[in-house]
Structure 1
Amino acid sequence: MASAAASASAAGARERSGGLTGPRLLLAGFVLALTNFMVVLDTTIANVSVPHISGGLGVSVTQGTWVVTSYAVAEAICVPLTGWLVKRFGTVRTFMFALAGFTMFSALCGLATSLGMIVAFRIGQGLCGGPLMPLTQTLLLRIFPKEQHAQAMGVWAMTTVTAPIIGPIAGGWISDNWSWPWIFFINLPIGIACLFGVFTLLRGAETKTETSRIDRVGLILMVTWIAALQVMLDLGRERDWFGSTFIVGCAIVAVVGFAAFIIWELTEEQPVVDLRVFRHRGFAVAVAALALAFGTFFASVVVIPQWLQGSLNYTATESGRVTAFTGILAVILSPIVAKFSTKVDSRALVCFGMAWLGVVSVTRALWWSSGADFWTLAIPQLMQGLGMPFFFIPLTTIALAAVRPEETASAAGVMSFLRTLAAAIGTSIAATKWEEHGRIERNEIVNTLNQPDQVVTTLQTAGLSAEQGRGMIERLVDQESIALATNHIFLVAAVIFFLSATLIWFAPRPKGAPPPGAAH
């Protein structure tokens, strides 16, 4: 009986994996890991290239951040649909369609000639990229035998952690040495190769399909309020905020749509986003802390390269090197923190990680100035990497251990949805406040500037013309005002990180760990 059960179990495992063994199994795992690497890379590769994209399209740098936020919003919208798509079309078919779409929209992004075009294509890229990250996890767990799940998830985690390190460096080097469209064109050979690999190796691992209905009303409400909110945040600074009837209309649609979305999803039997998991205090607290901290963290990832290139005259390559230091300690410490999280109270680990990010933000505000050298800028980035694993890894444990086993998939989807949405909203708010505070600081500096004509006269005696002297003063005022605005952003970020570190203690101590591959 025991041998028969073992044989049946082995046969079931072979059926799930599509009969993959040996080198074919390893190659399939590599293809899935490479796909995940490509998708995660695209979340950061464009950050350091925003000034190049803005210049190429003839728009402001703050408008250029739409390239980042549009992708994040579209990805956030599509992630909750992954489960329904898999049930309706099958895991492998959904994966192949999403991968093909991601590759196609990557090419279109590189061919874009206007801001509207690239934002539209980035939305398409985000909609297709949203399901890819969780589906790479799902397929890895499906094709590898159970005793190799830990190793498979370890490889997946390494691609997730290393891609954000390589992204800024690759994006900067490509933008400086080729041109910004190539940050999208490089996805073409990778996407085509991965698509061929999936078609060749994974067709036998397809899952059964079933005709299941989708929560259309919930989906429409979700898209409506998120789109209205994002448009309000992105266009508000250009249209005098609530002095514009259009922005007021967007705000009303966002508020009413959000309220209707909450009510509908809480009463729907099969909601597109299962908000009922928020009844668990541990999950609600952990996700609130995650949204606050991750939105703040991602906003800094976008603002720093813009400041370095726009104010300190760094090249995209140099700013990429500065920002990439964040990932070094994160890669080294991730497996160590994963082991610690099973022995130490996860709340203490998360509190340390978030508080450490707050300390780093204060350090930036104190150290960074318009005259900062490379290492003054890079060391806080390196320090930040120490706190990231303590923040991300145990927080997942707290959130998913708080829900029932049958709710784990829904809870993981909600976490991913809110994390990605927080990144887009945080980026928009930070870009707006950074620009506004820069104008305020500039006005204050100009008002306190004593005898500018005398300074111009002094510069003329040094060999400059009056026009050159005024230009030099103006550049210095602009540079210092942006530096002060950047410091202000980091001080606000520090406050949010410290609040998040305090908030996590309202969650109960987790009693167990979530199943492998539950989070995405």
Structure 2
Amino acid sequence: MATSNPSQPHPPLEGTARLIGTLALSAAVFMNVLDTSIANVSLPAIAGDLGVSANQGTWVITSFAVANAISVPLTGWLSMRFGQVRLFMLSVTLFVISSWLCGLAPNMTTLIAFRILQGFVAGPMIPLSQSLLLASYPRAMAGTAMAFWSMTTLIAPVMGPLLGGWITDNMSWPWIFYINVPVGMLAVGATWAIFRNRDSARKALPIDAIGLGLLVVWVSAMQIMLDIGKEHDWFQSPMVVACAVIAVVGLLYFLIWELGDKHPVVDLRLFKNRNFWAGTLAISVGYGLFFGNVVLLPLWLQQFMGYTATDAGLVLAPVGLLALVLSPVVGKTIHKVDPRRYATASFIVFGLVMWMRSRFNTQVDLVTIMVPTIVQGVAMAGFFIPLMTITLSDIPPEKMPSASGLSNFVRITAGAVGTSVATTLWERRAVLHHAQLVEHISLGDGPTAQAVQGLQASGLTLQQALARVDQLVNQQAFMLAANDIFWASSMLFLLLIPLVWLAKGPKQGQGGGGAEAASAAH
């Protein structure tokens, strides 16, 4: 393969080279996106094996998400410094190594440390895969390239719960990380073979070290506060108060510094654009609600409904089926239909799905649980691409990488916050419901006495019978608490609709951000 000048645009790939290049980039993206969902159904197994509570186990997800969010805005600077191909290969290689280390982790502290590393090195992979893929296809086929890429990112969340559940039940949880090793090695080898002479020009740019440091400080302090708050009674704990103060002060200093720096790590001036701030806020709050519920549902099923990890994965897996069918339709018609209409329909369907879940009870069957999960695929199809189209519609081309990075940073951070808030509120509401239910239970109460006598008749002692009654009360309390979260999420999704209409509609004939919007969707 001939070496070409990196300062000149590379010609599109052809034939087998383009096919192998597309598969290599897609495999890396698949591996990355898979890791955002594969651990969800495995949390109880990981937490139990490492001797921590299931809610502490959510750090496995949030630590990855926060580290990933912090590194996304650095992609542009790192690409200029190292070149897109070199950076992509380095990112995938380090991701494989950190995945292997996650599987070897002997305790929760070590696992979280390696998940932070894994999340941080994963940051550049998705935006770089988009840019390398677009450069591999003729301009006329950019939509086809991005449609293929989007399909990959929709299949991964479907496979994640299924693979995670099956591996946890039939092998052991470290294998949810080990499976990245062969996939990543193949992706690195194929990428090197196809793209090694297609690297971008390198240029030494100053790094906003102070801005990056402040970003790491305030985001980390905020996430630690959210994660340890429920274990330490929130602001009764000096540690939680200290984290809150550091987060607020760090954020204020970060905002002041970034607005005054010539080469900010995050270009906050983009928020002057109405469509950008309205779209970013809508997609971030919506994603936070969505991701919080995606984590909550398998926790509830496994802890209080007797589901195995595999069964919980099967319940979650259909979420992407309708999205796979409908997303190409949305992509092809986004330039004809006002994206605000698609986003509105998406939020209405999300609201309906959450309302359906708020009607669950402890006797709910598998089919009833799966119906809203399947319907949710409709909402997902109209969520990412239309909202990113709105967000990026008024951004000039030279600002597109910064805008995409900033929007993704806010969205990913919101997903981590949503997970912490959902699990915290679930626990607190369960405590409240448990106290209210217990008020109506005593041995002098007819139905309670009858239930205890029935349990004793089956061979249980009085203490065992009372423990069984308390277990049933606990199950009911957490069911009611989950209903509260689902109902509140439903209302919040509906409240996001006016926010979408604060954005300006598309200009006549505008493609809605085109391939950039589609590519930034994930």
Pair in the same fold by TM > 0.5: yes
Tell me the amino acid that sits aligned with residue 57 of structure 2.
Answer: G
Partner of 2:295: 302
| Residue 315 of structure 2 is aligned to residue 315 of structure 1 | no
Q: Is the 8 A contact 1:16 1:143 kept in 2?
A: no
| Residue 255 of structure 2 is aligned to residue 262 of structure 1 | yes
Counterpart-to-counterpart distance in 1, 2:458 and 2:133 = 68
| Residue 469 of structure 2 is aligned to residue 473 of structure 1 | yes
Q: Is the 8 A contact 1:18 1:203 kept in 2?
A: no
Give the secondary structure class of the aligned counterpart of 2:230.
helix
| Residue 117 of structure 2 is aligned to residue 121 of structure 1 | no
Q: Is the 8 A contact 2:6 2:199 kept in 1?
A: no
Partner of 2:382: 390
Across the aligned residues of Structure 1 and Structure 2, the Cα RMSD in angstroms comes to 1.7
Partner of 1:341: 334
Counterpart-to-counterpart distance in 1, 2:11 and 2:117 = 30
Partner of 1:442: 434
Q: Which segment is superposed worse, 61-70 or 339-348?
A: 339-348
| Residue 411 of structure 2 is aligned to residue 431 of structure 1 | no
Q: CA deviation at 1:19?
A: 8.0
Counterpart-to-counterpart distance in 2, 1:321 and 1:253 = 41
Task: Select the residue among 40, 47, 71 that pairs with 2:64.
Answer: 71
Q: Is the 8 A contact 2:340 2:386 kept in 1?
A: yes
| Residue 191 of structure 2 is aligned to residue 195 of structure 1 | no
Q: Which segment is superposed worse, 60-69 or 14-23?
A: 14-23
Q: Which segment is superposed worse, 447-456 or 50-59?
A: 447-456
Task: Select the residue among 433, 451, 455 that pairs with 1:455.
Answer: 451
Q: Is the 8 A contact 2:68 2:123 kept in 1?
A: yes
Q: Is the 8 A contact 1:352 1:387 kept in 2?
A: yes
User: Residue by residue, what CA displacement relative to the aligned partner does 1:460-515 show, whole Å, maximum 9, x if unpaired?
Assistant: 23443323312321221111111111101101111210111221111111223214
Give the secondary structure class of the aligned counterpart of 1:410.
helix
Q: CA deviation at 1:15?
A: 6.7
| Residue 169 of structure 2 is aligned to residue 176 of structure 1 | yes
Q: Which segment is superposed worse, 46-55 or 397-406?
A: 397-406
Q: Is the 8 A contact 2:27 2:184 kept in 1?
A: no
Q: Is the 8 A contact 1:445 1:477 kept in 2?
A: yes
Change (3 A) 1:261 1:14: closer
User: Residue by residue, what CA displacement relative to the aligned partner does 1:324-371 show, whole Å, maximum 9, x if unpaired?
Assistant: 1111111110011123321222112111111210111011101x1111
Q: Is the 8 A contact 2:318 2:374 kept in 1?
A: yes
Q: Is the 8 A contact 2:215 2:254 kept in 1?
A: yes
Q: Is the 8 A contact 1:103 1:188 kept in 2?
A: yes
Give the secondary structure class of the aligned counterpart of 2:36.
coil
Partner of 1:516: 515
Give the secondary structure class of the aligned counterpart of 1:209.
coil
Partner of 2:486: 490
| Residue 370 of structure 2 is aligned to residue 373 of structure 1 | no
Q: Is the 8 A contact 1:353 1:390 kept in 2?
A: yes
Q: Which segment is superposed worse, 260-269 or 370-379?
A: 260-269
Counterpart-to-counterpart distance in 2, 1:38 and 1:282 = 32
Q: Is the 8 A contact 2:224 2:243 kept in 1?
A: yes
Q: CA deviation at 1:18?
A: 7.5
Q: Is the 8 A contact 2:64 2:116 kept in 1?
A: yes
Partner of 1:7: none
| Residue 31 of structure 2 is aligned to residue 32 of structure 1 | no
Counterpart-to-counterpart distance in 2, 1:510 and 1:426 = 30
Q: CA deviation at 1:454?
A: 5.3
Partner of 2:228: 235
Counterpart-to-counterpart distance in 2, 1:463 and 1:94 = 65
Counterpart-to-counterpart distance in 2, 1:177 and 1:17 = 47
Q: CA deviation at 1:453?
A: 5.0
Partner of 1:503: 499
| Residue 216 of structure 2 is aligned to residue 185 of structure 1 | no
Q: Is the 8 A contact 1:69 1:424 kept in 2?
A: yes
Counterpart-to-counterpart distance in 2, 1:18 and 1:390 = 33
Partner of 2:47: 54
Task: Select the residue among 269, 278, 285 that pairs with 1:292.
Answer: 285
Q: Which segment is superposed worse, 68-77 or 319-328?
A: 319-328
TM-score normalized by structure 2?
A: 0.95
Change (3 A) 1:162 1:359: same
Unaligned runs of 5+ in 2: none
Task: Select the residue among 347, 350, 361 that pairs with 1:354.
Answer: 347
Q: CA deviation at 1:146?
A: 2.1
Give the secondary structure class of the aligned counterpart of 1:481.
helix
Counterpart-to-counterpart distance in 1, 2:480 and 2:499 = 29
Q: CA deviation at 1:288?
A: 0.8
Counterpart-to-counterpart distance in 2, 1:16 and 1:177 = 49
User: Residue by residue, what CA displacement relative to the aligned partner does 1:223-281 show, whole Å, maximum 9, x if unpaired?
Assistant: 01001100100001111211111111111111111111111111212111111111011
| Residue 410 of structure 2 is aligned to residue 418 of structure 1 | yes
Counterpart-to-counterpart distance in 1, 2:230 and 2:457 = 42
Tell me the amino acid that sits aligned with residue 143 of structure 1.
Answer: S
